Structure 1
Amino acid sequence: MGHSLMGGQPMDQHFIVMMIPHHDGAIAMADLALGRARRPEIKALARSIKDSQTQENAQMRTWYRQWFGGSVPAWGGAMGHGGGMGMMGMGGLGGTGTDVAWLKNASDFDRAFIEQMIPHHRMGVMMASMAQTNSQHPQLQALEQAMVTAQSQEIEQMAQWYRSWYGTS
């Protein structure tokens, strides 16, 4: 197809395999926030992130079965760590382990949540916008665009809260 990566794996396949665990990280952080956040704004944002990203993961899993056969491999399974979007491998791990453990113990949960979620979202936006330019499937391209739009808005919203609540960027 021309737009393939390591081992001839299409960009769309690679993107889905990387984005699902990245979403899982945000969902795990959002779950914590639903229980621990003090500010209603953070709880509302967490609910929105959890709902939208859970839905997106379900959609990507469905497409993966339709387009590539079988279910989405666990992170790192067929991927290897070189080439293409491999440099974003870190993003696939964000929030699944250390971020969540660290967040659990944060003394100011709301502040820590924003400090973790902004870079996590930035990585997601970067992954989605890069994948979008090479996507073979219009439906996935539209989803990638929607991710870029939604997460960029959420980043801006969190940055505004951070400035107004903590007086710093």
Structure 2
Amino acid sequence: MGSGMGAGRMGTQSMDQHFIVMMIPHHDGAIAMADLALSRARRPEIKALASSIKASQTQENAQMRTWYRQWFGGSVPTWGEAMGHRGGMGMMGMGGTGADLSWLKSASDFDRAFIEQMIPHHRMGVMMASMAQSNSQHPQLRVMQQAMVKAQGQEIEQMAQWYRSWYGTP
């Protein structure tokens, strides 16, 4: 696993390249979960959160793709290309999206299942962004990483409060 940050091409990538290659599919997972919530959630709070997640992470993905082209001279590689076609696990063992969309699609209590999946998904994103900040060469990416940590941290706390209020369990 080399540096412990992933398999495949990490040895030839900067931390910023690696972060972008790993964060875009991670965001894609949250966006897919948010899309499901927009059609399946019962509570307006979940729908509003999903709308916010979809908007912010879609914008962040677009910005990271632009930076990747500017800084590294090409398009962001797909997951398979980034992993050297080995199928290895990604940053922190997360792999692709880290979300079980098939389970979420069929969950009998969608709102509860959404929170149960989005909290750990966001925690992984916060960890990825927190760890990458200290080694980021590009100040504008560092600012985005700090914003990700703050926004997702607040969303985690909000979801945890809803969970306790609605389901009475931690």
How many correspondences in the alignment?
Answer: 163
- Confirm or deny that 1:48 pairs with 2:37: no
1:86-97 → structure 2 map (5 Å cutoff): 86-95=90-99
- Confirm or deny that 1:116 pairs with 2:117: yes
Separation in 2, partners of 1:114, 1:86: 23
How far off is 1:90 after superposition? 1.6
Separation in 1, partners of 2:57, 2:91: 22
CA contact (8 A) 1:13 1:68 kept: yes
Match in the other structure for 1:158: 159
For the structure 1 residues 87 and 147, does the alpha-carbon distance in structure 2 shift closer, same or farther, using more than 3 Å as the test? closer
Deviation track 1:45-103 (CA, whole Å, cap 9, x = no partner) reads 0000000000000000000000001100111313357xxx94524253312xxx11110
Instruction: Give the stretch that moved more between structures: 72-81 or 40-49.
Output: 72-81
SS of match in other structure, 1:43: helix
Deviation track 1:80-134 (CA, whole Å, cap 9, x = no partner) reads 57xxx94524253312xxx111100000000000000000000000000000010
For the structure 1 residues 73 and 89, does the alpha-carbon distance in structure 2 shift closer, same or farther, using more than 3 Å as the test? farther
CA contact (8 A) 1:19 1:92 kept: no
Match in the other structure for 1:25: 29
- Confirm or deny that 1:73 pairs with 2:54: no
Unaligned runs of 5+ in 2: none
CA RMSD between the two structures: 2.2
Unaligned runs of 5+ in 1: none
Match in the other structure for 1:140: 141
How far off is 1:7 after superposition? 2.1
CA contact (8 A) 1:91 1:124 kept: no
CA contact (8 A) 1:15 1:131 kept: yes
User: Normalising by structure 1, what TM-score?
Assistant: 0.90
User: Normalising by structure 2, what TM-score?
Assistant: 0.89
Please identify runs of 4+ aligned residues in structure 1 that moved more than 4 A: none
Match in the other structure for 2:65: 61
